[in-house]
Structure 1
Amino acid sequence: MSKHLFPTYKRWDLTFDSAHGSEITTTDGRKFIDLMSGIGTVNMGHNHPEIVEAVEKQLHRGWHGSNFFQYDQQEQVAALLADASGLDRVFFANSGTEANEAAIKLARKATGREEIVSFTQSFHGRTYGSMAATGQAKIHEGYAPLPAGFTYAPYNDAEQAEKKITSDTAAVIVETIQGEGGVVPGEQAFLDKVNEVANARGALLIIDEVQTGIGRTGEPFSYQKYGLRPDIVTVAKGLGNGFPVAAMMGREDLQSYFGPGSHGTTLGGNPLAMAAVQATLNVLNTPGLLSEVEDKSKHVFQHLQKQCEASDIVTEVRGAGLMIGIACEQPVAPILTKMQEKGVVALPAGEKVIRLLPPLTISEERLTQGLDIVTEAIKETAKTKA
């Protein structure tokens, strides 16, 4: 128990020492297969040599000069993101919640409207604006009054979404797959309707790709799998392979609303962060990487569905790419503890969902080893059918 840290995290009885590839080592010498990637951040694996080399090179050139300077690296990375996303303009921040704050501000300023529509069980961050956009009462508890102008519709309910999005709506913010909300994929018809109604009523469509972006679902951004046309996209987590960095991307015509003095950040887009992002995007663009993610994804779902079909407690295996949720009929905390005892670290997504977010670069052999431990832990923690 720490004497000096606020107890904001339910910490495990594990002390991080080092990590390489898809393996984490603790200070007592134990090694764990990493099926969480730093909560979906270390997409290219721990200590990826190209990314480490890029950051280390920049480290000796300079960390930070301020955004009054022009940074060649920012323009280079913005061009890579524009090419990957199909959007035009980029604002760099330090975290997903900051990217979503920027998106909310830009949407209100550009439309002259106040209302932001989001969805129940969503998660968009913990600062006041992004927390207000988060459709979970437990995240709001104790922080009233929240900023006004936020309203929620049920996720995957196209009819209710159409009712909520009106001529007063500045923006709709949505995850194509709800991560913290239980690894719940958006239905195509629902997301299509949200996109269509937002367009028709002059509201901007913001897609939160903080957890789903940078190859996690088998595309650079998950909205590309659905064929959606967002006005604004936010990304963080995997963007710098675990280095603190985020981005908000938007259409060209939105740039006039974010001029000098309209928004800012002291450290956003610093040279170290840009080195990490540029190297990460270069790895993402490696020929064959995303097709390998798709192949591994098929392997994961086939393996888990086969192994879990006899379980009394597993109700569904869902997700996309290497973003996997194993929904259970009972709390999963004991299963996660059993997994740790056997040498695998993973996450919950709510009380009754095991969330797997392995590095995209994990070998199929290592992935299978980890999945076997996951299913063993499920079987040992719960009754199974004969």
Structure 2
Amino acid sequence: MPVNKKVIIIVLDSAGIGELLDAGKYGDCGCNTLVNCSLAVGGLKLPHLSQMGLGRIAEILGVPPVDNPTACYGKMAERSPGKDTTTGHWEIAGVILNKPFPVFPDGFPAEIIEPFKQSIGRDILGNKAASGTAIIEELGALHMQTGHPIVYTSADSVFQIAAHEEVIPLEELYRMCQIARELLTGEYAVGRVIARPFVGSPGSFKRTANRHDYSIMPPRPTVLNVLVENGLTVAAVGKINDIFAGQGISTSVHTKNNMDGVDKTLTLMRESFSGLIFTNLVDFDQQYGHRNDPSGYANALEEFDQRLPELICALNPADVLILTADHGCDPTTASTDHSREYVPLLVAGKSIKKGVDLGVRTSFSDVAATVARLFGLTFDTGEEFASAITE
């Protein structure tokens, strides 16, 4: 195993590339995050992703297919049911779920809410499905008057708690989330409990970067565990550590935004260790997809594209860069929820073949099998494509 060899997975959170065959079951017919976003803004300017082969995966306005891609390219279908962050990331790491996480479109039942209120010693506001920005505008002033936290969910399997940082200090908010996480088991075992702190005054509330996710534990070992057990480092950037409940993670850093995520990824790439850097860039989803903002989404994609040369230049001779996503969140639809989509797959490195068409992968877990194979290990889920891309 080469010294100082790294595989870098960067998840462009929600950058889906077309509806899956079963999208109709999820109400997502016609969703195509990247393509529809490009149409909405009159074309995307992504020269570096274009050179890697993004335009060969789908017809994206402004991203033409190139003759000689600098990366291997394809797309992946999600085998697990669902379209949430946890499910997508777990499958990338090699865990395929048999059933989706529970959702609560009508709010959480008394069996959960009553013991939650008793444990935190306060009443709550909300308890319904809502947009995160909309619900703090609706209930933020009342929250500031009463001190009651705002509990809400979405189409995803989440229990979210919003609180003004000057009303409920961060540590208290995090404690409330831990209490909720312990209560939400069995049939109520949502994928994530999320702390959603905000600041400001009525009419100008703003969520802060102090979000914290409390994920359910993966039901079985992921490729992250396999790497760590074999003496390799797994460095988590962004919300990766939260998504995996710290399992199989050697070290982690939180991020403020996409560019901070790129900066921290580059810092880790320059360190001397062998293993995996697993990065989530959340702004595409959190800031633009859920807010139906195709212009913001497009700008974020173009901003990332401008940083790609730095990432490519930082690769050591044995390093491999994998760009993908975890689901869609089409900002051009009426819905503000995630969408059931294929995700792009771009793989590059100095020792990696160029222009290999990886086709349509039947599971995100092919990434897990490939990462294991690149380090001379085996993983029992997914079909590796390492043998197709290495000399």
TM normalised by structure 2 equals 0.27
TM normalised by structure 1 equals 0.27
Structure (1/2) with the larger helix percentage: 1
User: Which fold has the larger relative contact order, with Cα–Cα distance below 8 Å and residues 6 or more apart in sequence?
Assistant: 2
